[in-house]
Amino acid sequence: MAAPELLVDNLSYRVGKQTILENINLCLSGGIFGLLGANGAGKSTLLKLMATVMGPTYGDIRVDQWQRPHDDRQIRGMLGYVPQQYGLLEHLTIKEYLHYAAVMKGSVHNAAAIQQVSDWMGLGEWFNTRIAKLSGGTKQRVGIAQALLGTPPLLILDEPTSGLDPSERVHLKNLLQQWSSTATIVLSTHIVSDIEGLADTVGILDHGQLLAQGSVTSIVRKADGLVFQRSFSLGDWEQEADRWMIRPNTIQPVPRVVVRIASSGKSVTVRYLTREPDEYSVMASADLEDGYLALVNFPELRDTDATFAE
């Protein structure tokens, strides 16, 4: 079965006079789409709309020939969904809960399918344990397991790595990478490393607007010529730190955005974005985090080509 096409056309969502999402356009077909944005950017709302949990104020969502809201039942039959916040039935064991989820999905109620997703997520040790007794990370794996029941061709995952330890994150990435050859996967996160090296395409969402979408390379390219590094002795850094640690915001814009600070024990190196580097800084190669921060903090980069950056 070919991976389904997910089309989002001129989508907006409003609550009263507040605009949560504005004019979102996406066309996804196969592979992994990483939706990157800060908390409150509108990622969860967009995924809820894709997953038929809510209806848009304006615009259309279509999965292959099925269009929301008329064909929601058909879309749900193709869908595996991990919301950011959900309530597991904690009085049930993992086995009982996955059986319940399978019944709710309709066509995948069999022991083999349940055992398969349990194995994928490494839940065998707790298979007969009540969910209330599980750690937060194990509960998250149960939530992912229910989404994988029936090997759905459309996966919508909202912050799926939340609560997972590093080894579990790597395992989930590998599983999704394998799955992506026959499925369309949407994965939202505010952590760049969650999608770096995983996503085929990336979208940057900020304050309800899609600032750019395209290949990882195209997003990285947005920061070309803006990334610099400067090293300080520990003594100099103590005097300069307050000046460098001012956060950019709409009320008090600053000419630079600090990306990361690294200390070697004898010196401190600051990586930052700016159009006005000082004479002590050297240019550095851009990465995905730089591209994301450049688009968020330098509005002039969001030209008409950025929406479909290639």
Q: Are residues 197 and 264 in the same domain?
A: no
Quick one: what percent of the chain has pLDDT higher than 70? 94
In 3D space, the residue among 78, 102, 106 whose CA is nearest the CA of residue 92 turns out to be 102
- Structural domain for 86, as ranges: 5-214
Q: What pLDDT was estimated at residue 249?
A: 61
Domain termination residue (choose one: 190, 214, 238): 214
Q: Are residues 168 and 198 in the same domain?
A: yes
Residue 93 has pLDDT above 90, yes or no: yes
Q: Are residues 301 and 186 in the same domain?
A: no
Q: Are residues 172 and 271 in the same domain?
A: no
Q: Are residues 170 and 252 in the same domain?
A: no
- Number of neighbours of residue 132 by Cβ within 10 angstroms: 12
Distances in Å between the Cα of 6 and the Cα atoms of 75, 89, 156, 158, 175 are 10, 30, 11, 16, 21
Query: Average of pLDDT values for 115-143?
Result: 91
Q: What pLDDT was estimated at residue 205?
A: 94
Q: Are residues 107 and 178 in the same domain?
A: yes
Per residue in 28-82, pLDDT (tens digit) is: 999 999 999 988 889 999 999 999 999 899 999 999 999 888 888 899 989 999 9
Q: Are residues 244 and 210 in the same domain?
A: no
Average pLDDT of the chain to the nearest whole number: 89
Quick one: what percent of the chain has pLDDT higher than 90? 60
Number of domains the chain is built from: 2
Q: Are residues 104 and 148 in the same domain?
A: yes
pTM, to two decimals = 0.89
Q: Are residues 169 and 232 in the same domain?
A: no
The listed range with the strongest mean pLDDT (67-71, 106-110, 202-206) is 202-206
Q: Are residues 28 and 52 in the same domain?
A: yes
Domain CATH for 146: 3.40.50.300
Q: Are residues 42 and 75 in the same domain?
A: yes
- Number of neighbours of residue 55 by Cβ within 10 angstroms: 12
Domain termination residue (choose one: 181, 214, 247): 214
Per residue in 227-274, pLDDT (tens digit) is: 999 999 998 998 888 888 777 665 555 678 999 999 987 899 999 999
Q: Are residues 48 and 68 in the same domain?
A: yes
